[in-house]
Amino acid sequence: MGSLQGQNVVVVGGSRGVGRSIVEAALGEGADVLAVARGAEALKEVAWEASGVRTLAADATQDTAPDTVFAALQPDVLVICAGAFAPSACIQDQSWDDFSANWETDVKASFLFCRAALQGRLKPGSRVVLISSGAAFSGGPPNSGGYSGAKQMQMFLAAHSQKEADRLGLGLRFMALAPMRIMAGTGVGQRGISSISAYLGISPADFLASMSDVQTPADVGRAVVALAGGKVPGIAFTVSGSGLAAAA
């Protein structure tokens, strides 16, 4: 029997890349899984290839998104993996819309769903996992706009939400997970690799060769399953090629 047998897992941003791997990991552990994303075509592909998954096309940055998602499947485990591409221009060449893209998507979606959880929309014992990034620790490159700050805010938001849930006696668990290395083979990763290597004036191959201890999307999926089991203490975590660890 899988570790999530009989539990409902909702993955917001579950159609591609890391989110898709989280969907597959949860399915493999026996969960009833709902993949949420904006793109209906990408969701059709998920439904075709991942037997048993439910899908829902919804924009996680809309104020009504939590109502829409929870009406489709009430989660025991809620994973927020939705995010925008980071900018790929120097600060002086960005508009505010460019710079704030990850705040308006990654942070806003996390805020809306955490707020809904704290307003009583999730039952006691539910777990919420926000997918952050190693850029929250490193600061990221200068051409990535507000990306690193947004990913750090997700970690703060998990901690703030946990304190509030404890104060209110809601019995909820909030966590943030930061994949520590950029990942080839994902949309965000491929765009980031191209952008950073161009900024540094090196080839994408040389940039990738400079990294060590790189996790895969499947590693992230396994880390989320471990956190969803509710037996790993803490709020902020990292995942690298070495595995899951508490954030320093």
pLDDT digits (tens, 9 = 90+) for 20-50: 999 999 999 999 999 999 999 999 999 999 8
Contacting residues for 127 by C-beta, under 8 A, at least 6 apart:
76, 77, 78, 172, 173, 174, 175, 227, 228, 230
Contacting residues for 37 by C-beta, under 8 A, at least 6 apart:
12, 13, 14, 15, 16, 19, 43, 55, 57, 58, 82
Q: Return the structure tokens found at 240.
A: 């690298």
- Whole-number pLDDT of residue 221: 97
Question: CA 105, 217, 152 angle in degrees (round to 5)?
Answer: 40
Report residue 137 CA to chain centroid gap.
Answer: 16
Of 47-51, 154-158, 182-186, 227-231, where does mean pLDDT reach its minimum? Answer: 182-186
- Whole-number pLDDT of residue 10: 98
Does the pLDDT value for residue 190 go beyond 90? no
- Whole-number pLDDT of residue 1: 57
Q: Return the structure tokens found at 24.
A: 């597959």
CA pair distance 158, 211, nearest whole angstrom:
28
**Residue 138 CB burial class (10 angstroms; 0-12, 13-18, ≥19):** exposed
Q: If we measure between CA atoms, which residue out of 12, 16, 15, 14 comes closest to residue 187?
A: 16
Cα-based torsion angle of the residue sequence 84, 87, 88, 92 in order, rounded to the nearest 10 degrees: 180
Query: Which value, in Å, is the radius of gyration of the alpha carbons in the chain?
Result: 17
Confidence category of residue 225, pLDDT binned at 50, 70, 90: very high
- Whole-number pLDDT of residue 6: 93
- Whole-number pLDDT of residue 238: 98
Query: Is the pLDDT higher at 248 or at 81?
Result: 81
- Whole-number pLDDT of residue 207: 81
Question: Whole-prediction pTM value?
Answer: 0.94
Q: How many CB atoms are closer than 10 A to CB 152?
A: 20
The answer to whether the beta carbons of residues 128 and 78 sit under 8 Å apart is yes
Enclosing H/E stretch for 10? strand 8-12
Of 17-31, 184-198, 227-241, where does mean pLDDT reach its minimum? Answer: 184-198
